[in-house]
């Protein structure tokens, strides 16, 4: 778990924000986290995923994480119960018909996102905003695949969403001022701090973070150090809360690879070439914590380095 300071209190008081109902596509790590903070901030939330089992798992995760916040006295039991009542499952996009904002938090693959948007748009009211939680893909390009590029914006939350204070906002070339301003109000009501990024590959955080992780993997690949040595060096030598390989496992090695591929293809610079070892781990299905194996093996009592 990444250690952070006490998160800013979400503003659940009355607001001038025109947004009331929020749809979220994807009930995984990111989508459930976004639903969590939106419900605590007073928004009605509709949560969608490809199966009812995934939806149930996402809501169970939210319940468990909120219970942990209650035990740590960050929220009250009454706030937890009220927030959970605001989250309802949406098994089809038609359920988003009355939503003011729908945030896509699906896997980091452009073809998947484009398919989602083409199926989503006919279900939405004309003035609904679409946000993408993409961590690297062009907002202009994604927006052009919708029927409302002026009402499309990048809303990139950090992981884990309930703890991390930052949200990157990214405007596409067509994103209107009204969409940007409304989204800023929404993010502020969540108690998050905004960093505005230009629409370049991987934006700000991942443009800096993922090449560092990729370089750590190259350091392992070239035999400069082993997993434990590299992570210990960066934790103690650079005072990072997690070593870069442990962090890669936390993010998901498939996501790390996707972001590096976007950087490499989008900027055409060899310094962004994904490390072959990262590619090999993803091909093996060793994606990190979510598959129980990555640069560490998580199947025992404590994580054990795999190299």
What residues act catalytically?
A: 135, 156, 168, 206
Q: Cα–Cα distance between 292 and 249 in angstroms, integer? A: 9
Q: Cα–Cα distance between 252 and 296 in angstroms, integer? A: 12
For tokens 């995760």, the residue is 61
């Amino acid at each position: 778990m990444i250690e952070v300071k006490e998160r800013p209190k979400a503003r659940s008081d009355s607001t001038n924000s025109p947004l009331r109902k929020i749809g979220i596509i994807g009930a995984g790590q990111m989508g459930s986290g976004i639903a969590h903070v939106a419900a605590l901030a007073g928004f009605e939330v509709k949560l969608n995923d490809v199966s009812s089992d995934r939806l149930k798992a996402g809501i169970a995760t939210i319940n468990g994480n909120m219970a942990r916040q209650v035990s740590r006295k960050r929220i009250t039991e009454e706030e937890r119960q009220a927030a959970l009542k605001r989250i309802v499952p949406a098994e089809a996009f038609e359920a988003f018909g009355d939503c003011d904002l729908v945030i896509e938090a699906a896997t980091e693959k452009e073809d998947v996102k484009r398919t989602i948007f083409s199926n989503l748009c006919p279900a939405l009211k004309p003035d609904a905003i679409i946000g993408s939680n993409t961590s690297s893909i062009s907002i202009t390009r994604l927006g052009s695949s919708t029927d409302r590029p002026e009402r499309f914006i990048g809303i990139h939350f950090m992981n884990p969403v309930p703890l991390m204070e930052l949200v990157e906002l990214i405007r596409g070339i067509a994103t209107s001022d009204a969409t940007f301003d409304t989204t800023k109000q929404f993010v502020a009501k969540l108690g998050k701090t905004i960093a505005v990024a230009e629409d370049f590959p991987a934006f700000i955080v991942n443009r800096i973070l993922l090449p560092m992780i990729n370089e750590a993997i190259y350091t392992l690949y070239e035999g400069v150090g082993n997993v434990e040595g590299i992570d210990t060096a960066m934790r103690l030598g650079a005072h990072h809360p997690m070593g870069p390989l442990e962090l890669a496992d936390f993010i998901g090695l498939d996501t790390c690879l996707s972001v590096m591929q976007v950087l490499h293809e989008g900027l055409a610079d060899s310094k962004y070439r994904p490390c072959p070892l990262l590619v090999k781990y993803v091909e093996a299905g060793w994606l990190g914590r979510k598959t129980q194996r990555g640069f560490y093996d998580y199947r025992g009592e404590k994580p054990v380095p795999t190299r």
